[in-house]
């Protein structure tokens, strides 16, 4: 069937189907880094433009009335899978659809959605999955805004929660899920590594526990925030997760100049989440989607360089007399770290470039260190080209109750550091000088 005939019959825009995407060359399956240069986009549909234009429009013209009806059957959920073509920018757009195609490539997910922020992605996920009386089981700690959303916001609408520590064993996970199973568990939500402690969650153990305790239609999906390591250093769909969540603001965007979020997973789950996104309008804008397409082209390069830099910086910090501990995944070995080391070996491809630094002392020492930095910037967020440092207890997790912060290990001497792509020796010099001020 020709592209023109298909478009005439369905009313679908031929933008993505006009030319089959190049996924293999001579029998070789192309790597994601290669596919980021053109996957999901045909230049001939945009005047030959090498890069996708930014489509700044609020609405799209239908080829005929029947096509308009069919598109709305998709966006309203009467027919699963979303619209066959472009409808209205609250629902979809060329830049967002190309971005979603490319996001899915990295983890071999069936489908993906782009959002206006990481938190809008998480909020839309929760709203699409839970109802009053349901329970969310989650790992801890989580990003502070996520914990607030679960406990304080959804709690107001009758949603309950139970949690287990990030490094929990299968037995500990079984105990929490068994307790939760007395009610309706709508979602199991994980964050690994945990923010800001860098503790890993055993996704395989969570999946095994879920499958043993829940059956049939009662089986809750497992969603995981993969922002810290994904998609280069961790791909949790392979360990049993059903849905992967990203703050695309971080490594995917990578230049500290945009805010966006993403959700990847099976078509079944993505269809459910898409219907909620279409209703409440949490899709990202065309310009942000275009900027993310630019960023994905260098994702592997940036993350690889940052990871190499982090290994050098952490090697310097590890034995410094003013450092109590470095929570860097590359240092996990035996002893107290044996459990975490086992998870790391099974789940992770690399140690990442964001880590927790515990200084000897408390808030005074942490603030002295942060204020003395010259190259590293004192700012929240992570995953950018520049090195960032922040104080979780006094900044990102300030809203978390003191007792819970203590239980989760978010202490006053903890500094979270995200290493960028600067020269590694320059960064070491910066940290060395800052430690003199402690």
pLDDT tens per residue across span 224-272: 999 999 999 999 999 999 999 999 999 999 999 999 999 999 999 999 9
For residue 407, give both structure tokens: 């239980």
Please report the DSSP string for 122-184 in residue order: HHHHHHHH--TT-EEEEEES--HHHHHIIIIIGGGGT-EEEEEETT--HHHHHHHHHHHTTS-
Verify that 342 and 365 share a domain, yes or no.
Answer: yes
Residue length, the chain?
438
Q: Which of 11-25, 95-109, 249-263, 343-357 has the lowest mean pLDDT?
A: 11-25
CATH code of the domain in which 248 resides: 3.40.640.10
Residue 230, exposed/middle/buried by CB under 10 A (0-12, 13-18, 19+)? buried
CATH code of the domain in which 314 resides: 3.90.1150.10
Structural domain of 190: 111-286
* CB atoms closer than 10 angstroms to residue 59: 10
Verify that 347 and 267 share a domain, yes or no.
Answer: no
Say if residues 299 and 36 touch (Cβ distance below 8 Å).
yes
| pLDDT digits 0-9 by tens, 32-65 | 999 999 999 999 999 999 999 999 999 999 999 9
User: Rounded to whole angstroms, how far apart are CA atoms 58 and 38?
Assistant: 25
The number of folded domains in the chain is 2
| pLDDT digits 0-9 by tens, 343-379 | 999 999 999 999 999 999 999 999 999 999 999 999 9
User: Rounded to whole angstroms, how far apart are CA atoms 76 and 12?
Assistant: 16
Verify that 174 and 265 share a domain, yes or no.
Answer: yes
- Domain boundary among the residues 286, 316, 331 is at 286
Verify that 279 and 312 share a domain, yes or no.
Answer: no
């Amino acid at each position: 069937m020709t592209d023109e005939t298909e478009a005439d019959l369905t009313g679908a825009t031929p933008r993505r189907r006009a030319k089959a995407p190049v996924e293999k060359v001579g029998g070789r399956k192309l790597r994601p880094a290669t596919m980021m240069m053109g996957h999901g986009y045909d230049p001939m549909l945009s005047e030959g433009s090498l890069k996708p234009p930014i489509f700044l429009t609020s609405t799209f013209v239908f080829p005929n009335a029947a096509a308009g009806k069919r598109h709305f059957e998709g966006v309203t959920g009467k027919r699963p899978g979303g619209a066959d073509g472009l409808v209205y920018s609250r629902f979809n757009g060329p830049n967002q659809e190309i971005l979603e195609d490319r996001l899915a490539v990295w983890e071999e997910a069936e489908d993906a959605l782009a959002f206006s922020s990481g938190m809008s992605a998480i909020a839309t996920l929760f709203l699409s999955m839970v109802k009053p009386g349901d329970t969310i089981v989650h790992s801890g700690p989580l990003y502070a805004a996520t914990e607030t959303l679960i406990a304080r916001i959804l709690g107001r609408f009758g949603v309950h929660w139970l949690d287990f520590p990030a490094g929990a064993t299968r037995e500990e996970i079984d105990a929490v899920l068994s307790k939760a199973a007395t009610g309706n568990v709508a979602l199991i939500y994980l964050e690994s590594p945990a923010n800001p402690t860098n503790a890993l969650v055993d996704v395989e153990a969570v999946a095994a526990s879920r499958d043993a305790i829940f059956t049939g239609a009662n089986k809750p999906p497992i969603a995981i925030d993969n922002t810290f390591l994904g998609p280069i250093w961790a791909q949790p769909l392979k360990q049993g997760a059903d849905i992967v969540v990203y703050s695309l603001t971080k490594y995917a965007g990578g230049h500290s100049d945009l805010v966006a979020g993403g959700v990847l997973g099976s078509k079944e789950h993505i269809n459910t989440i898409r219907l909620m996104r279409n209703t409440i309008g949490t899709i990202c804008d065309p310009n942000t989607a275009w900027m993310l397409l630019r960023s994905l082209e260098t994702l592997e390069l940036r993350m690889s360089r940052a990871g190499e830099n982090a290994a050098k910086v952490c090697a310097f910090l590890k034995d410094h007399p003013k450092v109590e501990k470095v929570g860097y995944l590359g240092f996990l070995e035996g002893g107290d770290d044996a459990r975490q080391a086992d998870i790391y070996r099974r789940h992770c491809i690399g140690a990442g470039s964001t880590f927790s630094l515990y200084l000897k002392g408390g808030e005074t020492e942490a603030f002295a260190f942060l204020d003395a930095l010259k190259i590293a910037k004192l700012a929240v967020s992570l995953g950018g080209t520049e090195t960032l440092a922040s104080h979780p207890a006094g900044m990102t997790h300030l809203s978390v109750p003191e007792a819970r912060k203590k239980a989760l290990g978010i202490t006053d001497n903890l500094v979270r550091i995200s290493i960028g792509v600067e020269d590694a020796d320059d960064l070491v010099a910066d940290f060395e000088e800052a430690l003199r001020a402690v």
